[in-house]
Amino acid sequence: MSRLGLVLYHGIDSGPELQEYGRLAEDNGFDSLWVTERYFHEETFSMLGFLAAATERIKLGVGVVNPYTRNPALLAMASATLDRLSGGRFLLGLGRSEAQVIQDKMGIPYGNSRTALTETVQHLRRLFAGERVSAPDGRYKLSNVRLATTPVQSRLPIYLSGIGPKGLRLIGEIADGAVLNAYVSPAYVRYAVKEIRDAATAAGRDPQSIDMTCMLVVRLTDDPASLYPALKQRLVRLLEEPHVGEILLDTGGFDPSILPTLRATVKSDGEKAAVGFISDGMVEAFYIVGPADHCRARIEEYRRAGVDEPLLLPRLEDFRKVAEAFRA
């Protein structure tokens, strides 16, 4: 049976509002509900604890936290607690975040993100298994740490996010699942899934054992063209990022040679001035936008590209509309 998840956007104002979103997702038959962590907005583990109490069946994921702001021991404590509170429904997503946030804004040394993620996953696996962990070397110097409570799930799933080849290969080497980035095309998904599964095979793992999820930005509308200016400006911000823009355009079948001029225009005149570099075709490739039937067909494109569970990401004000339109 095909699986489908939902993602909560930022801007939750109250417990009753959060409870309503949790029940909407569960009552409409979605398989999972994910909360993203964006600094400096709502704190994700607090929200997930509330959702664990407000729901009964739906899986609850975080997509994603990073290995810097929480020590692996603290991550293990939070994850094991949430898994207990939810009765074994928690999914842990980890990603590298950005040096500009971690180091520049919070003063936490960033270093090598691949090493940080690898060490964190290794420590989490052992802590979840009830082992005592000492790590005198490496980034996290744990000393005889052992959890007093362990997860309900015998193997609590750890998902990793990644965009470029190094990040994707790490998913294949050590993760239970992938959380592919929002604003990607089906063509990118085919590229990413192949990178992940090839890396899994090379590591001696079953490539089909890795669960592929992908956040899909959904805009339900009968007038998609009216949304294009705002959607194009968001793509400008995404393509500004070094390496990310090149990967997304190249794998999506678009010309990455526009990027130096796009970035120079943003630097000199701002994001709105660079919107002209974004074509309607890019919007149609990187978003799911249009009437419900069109959106369903687009979701199926991502499934055919290799996504096991699409994760629909609507605006908060459209959450009910999307939950009801795509109910199981």
For 159-175, letters b (16+ CB in 10 Å) and e give bbbbbeeebbbbbbbbb
Q: Name 144's Cβ contacts closer than 8 Å, sequence gap at least 6.
A: 132, 133, 134
Longest CA–CA separation in the chain, Å: 59
Domain locations in the chain as residue ranges: 5-220+291-325, 222-288
**CA distance linking residue 298 with residue 302, whole number of Å:** 7
Buried b (16+ CB within 10 A) or exposed e, 106-117: eeeebeebeebb
Closest C-alpha to 125, from 150, 98, 100, 97: 150
User: Over its length of 328 residues, how does the chain's per-residue pLDDT go in tens digits?
Assistant: 699 999 999 999 999 999 999 999 999 999 999 999 888 888 999 999 999 999 999 999 999 999 989 999 999 999 999 999 999 999 999 998 888 888 888 888 878 889 999 999 999 999 999 999 998 877 888 899 999 999 999 999 999 999 999 999 999 999 999 999 999 999 999 999 999 999 999 999 999 999 999 999 999 999 999 999 999 999 999 999 989 999 999 999 999 999 999 999 999 999 999 999 999 999 999 999 999 999 999 999 999 999 999 999 999 999 999 999 999 7
Predicted TM-score (pTM) above 0.85: yes
**What is residue 230's predicted lDDT score, i.e. its pLDDT?**
94
Q: What's the rounded Cα separation, in Å, for the pair 316 and 217?
A: 12
* Of 63, 58, 55, 60, residue with least CA distance to 81: 60
State residue 159's pLDDT score.
98
Give the whole-angstrom CA distance, residue 148 versus residue 130: 8
CA distance 185 to 236: 15
For the four alpha carbons of 218, 223, 226 and 228, in that order, the dihedral sign comes to positive
- What pLDDT is recorded for position 90? 98
The Cα–Cα gap between 92 and 157 comes to 6
Pairing of the two strands 288-290 and 90-94:
unpaired
Is the separation of the CB atoms in 178 and 162 below 8 Å?
Answer: yes
- The whole-number pLDDT of residue 107 equals 86
What one-letter code names the amino acid at 56? E
Tally of CB atoms within 10 A around 84: 15
Q: What is the pLDDT of residue 1?
A: 65
Q: Is 256 exposed, middle or buried (0-12, 13-18, 19+ CB in 10 A)?
A: middle
Q: Write the class of the CATH domain 5-220+291-325.
A: alpha beta
